Amino acid sequence: MEIINLNDTENKLFYIGGVVRDEILGQKSFDIDLTYVGNAIEFAKTLEGIEILKINEPFGTVRIKANGREVDIASTRKEIYERPGHLPTVTEIGCSLKDDVLRRDFTINALAKNYNTGEIIDYTGGLEDIKSKTLKVLHDNSFVEDPTRIIRALKFAVRFNFSLDEHSKKLRDDYLKNINYDMSFKRVKKELTETFNLNSQRAYDEFIEAGIYKLVTEKEVKKQNINIENLINKYKSLINPSNIWLIYLATIGDLSKLELTKEEKKILDDFESIKNIELNTDFDTYKAFENKHPETILIYGILKDLIPAINYIENLKNIKIEITGEDLQKLGVKPSPKYKECFDKILEAKCYNSNLTKQDEIMIAKEYFDI
Ligand code: ATP
Ligand code: MG
């Protein structure tokens, strides 16, 4: 762990959460989270040679820049869930380190490491659980307070190859039988995105088999028989990595609870618009998939029919006609909607024989316009 020159002679500063877990696991951590037993904002103001970037007074957090790195320092805090499923309310800033870690999601995320001495503080058995690759909630009400933890568990399980312990699994299953849909779906979406952008078939299988998908829809969902991870890997270069999650989630059907971006909506709407078109010929396939996001085409492949989807991606997509409007004008044809019909005719011919030359295309145009 990179040590930043912060002066804490009182031993009140701790690395906390994911960063401690990742160091023990030997994994790279992207952000450095610190917690200060007391008021982190006041503490940050006493530090020399650092820059304060952002202060969040109600949460008692501060972002600083030290030695060129951005670091978040939080005040230790207690929280209560006044409205389960929504963000908690801070009830005390500057509580004990123990109280601060007890509000966290899993034991493996509840470890602290003294900034000065490097001593690991483990109030909840997180070290043992890292060894046994176990995800364990800190109390029985954990998933009720914050159901996004169910998806977080899936994310960490896949990322580190861990599993929920039996008791936590039972708590999860109990919650999934009695979901309170009054929750922040913005946070649900964030966790789903992070989980499924890992592109993991295991995440998908568990999502469906354990009924975690029920957080998103009240309808029944059946597992697709196709290996989505392999399919995505095969066409990775075509897909926007931040849309991978949507390919998985599209199999749920109803995503109306999630707030989708314009692009995400278009990917799904385009699938809806083509899913019932009969694709009898390559030209039908070409026209159906033309100008669609590759994500839409893969969703079609998973939910409807893989053969035309792959045929389009591997063969038809590359077919382009060379003839232009200018060429038609040179042939003496006046611009009109007939141009498009003619181009479609040529395209259709090219779908059957991609070796047609521009000369061949002109021949077809002449025939079409009876020249
Ligand atoms: P990542 O590597 O994905 O960032 P992380 O463990 O650092 O993993 P964050 O979402 O950055 O996860 O959160 C930082 C810490 O805050 C977690 O380690 C955990 O202690 C706590 N935390 C985050 N989300 C929750 C939650 N929903 N409920 C309880 N504690 C949480
Ligand atoms: Mg983090």
206 CA to centre of ligand 1 in angstroms: 21
Reported as a pLDDT band with limits 50, 70 and 90, residue 226 is: very high
Q: Is the pLDDT of residue 14 over 70?
A: yes
Q: Is residue 172 part of a domain?
A: no
More confident residue, 31 or 3: 31
The pLDDT value given to residue 3: 57
Q: In this structure, is residue 164 part of a structural domain?
A: no
Structural tokens at position 204: 């998908």
Q: Does residue 344 fall inside a structural domain?
A: yes
In a domain, 343, yes or no: yes
Q: CB–CB of 128/157 below 8 Å?
A: no
Q: How far is the CA of 263 from the centre of ligand 2 (A)?
A: 27
Ligand 2 centre to CA of 155 (Å) is 13
Query: Is the Cα torsion angle 90, 95, 98, 100 positive or negative in sign?
Result: positive
Q: Examine residue 63 and state whether it is found in any structural domain, yes or no.
A: no
Q: What is the pLDDT of residues 297-317, one digit of tens each?
A: 999 999 999 999 999 999 999
Whether pLDDT at 38 is above 70: yes
Alpha carbon of 81 to those of 180, 183, 216, 258: distances in Å?
14, 12, 21, 22
Could you tell me where the DSSP H helices lie in the chain? 18-25, 40-46, 97-101, 126-131, 142-145, 148-160, 166-176, 185-196, 201-209, 228-234, 244-249, 262-274, 282-289, 294-303, 306-314, 325-330, 338-352, 358-368
Above 80 in pLDDT, residue 270?
yes
**What residues make up the domain containing 343?**
325-368
What is the predicted pLDDT for the residue at 292? 98
* Dist CA 329 CA 307 (whole Å): 39
pLDDT for 109-155, tens place per residue? 999 999 999 999 999 999 999 999 999 999 999 999 999 999 999 99
Whether residue 1 lies inside any domain: the answer is: no
- Is residue 149 in contact with ligand 1, taking CB distance under 6 Å? yes
Residue 63: pLDDT band (50, 70, 90) is very high
Identify residues whose C-beta is under 5 A from ligand 2, the ion.
18, 31
Does the pLDDT of residue 5 top 80, yes or no? no
Query: What is the pLDDT confidence band of residue 6, given thresholds at 50, 70 and 90?
Result: confident
Report if residue 345 sits inside a domain: yes
Q: What is the pLDDT of residue 29?
A: 86
pLDDT above 70 for 338: yes
Ligand 1 pocket, mutate which of 27, 63, 104 (most atoms under 8 A from CB): 104
Residue 190 confidence (pLDDT): 98
> Sign of the C-alpha dihedral, residues 266, 267, 272, 273?
positive
**Residue 100: CB within 6 Å of ligand 1?**
no
Instruction: Considering every ligand atom shown, identify the ligand nearest to the alpha carbon of residue 150 and give its number.
Output: 1
- Ligand sitting nearest the alpha carbon of 110: 1
DSSP string, 5-19: ----TTS-EEEETHH
pLDDT of residue 371: 87
Q: What is the pTM of this model?
A: 0.93
Mean pLDDT of the chain: 95
| CB of 168 closer than 8 Å to CB of 149 | no
pLDDT band at 167 (very low <50, low <70, confident <90, very high): very high
For range 166-170, the mean pLDDT: 98
Indicate the pLDDT class of residue 2, thresholds 50, 70 and 90: low
| Mean pLDDT calculated for residue range 278-304 | 97
Which pLDDT band holds residue 9 (cuts at 50, 70, 90)?
confident
Does the structure show a pLDDT above 70 at 4?
no
C-beta of 146 in contact with ligand 1 (< 6 A): yes
Tens-digit pLDDT profile for residues 176-198 = 999 999 999 999 999 999 999 99
Ligand nearest to the CA of 145: 1
Count structural domains, the chain.
Answer: 1
DSSP 193: H
Q: 68-89: string of b/e by CB count within 10 Å (b at 16+)?
A: eeebbbbbbbbbebeeebeebe
- Type of residue found at 203: A
| Total number of residues shown for the chain | 371
Would you say residue 310 lies in a domain? no
Cβ-based neighbour number of residue 38 at 10 Å: 17
Please provide residue 33's backbone torsions phi and psi, each rounded to the nearest 5 degrees: -105, 130
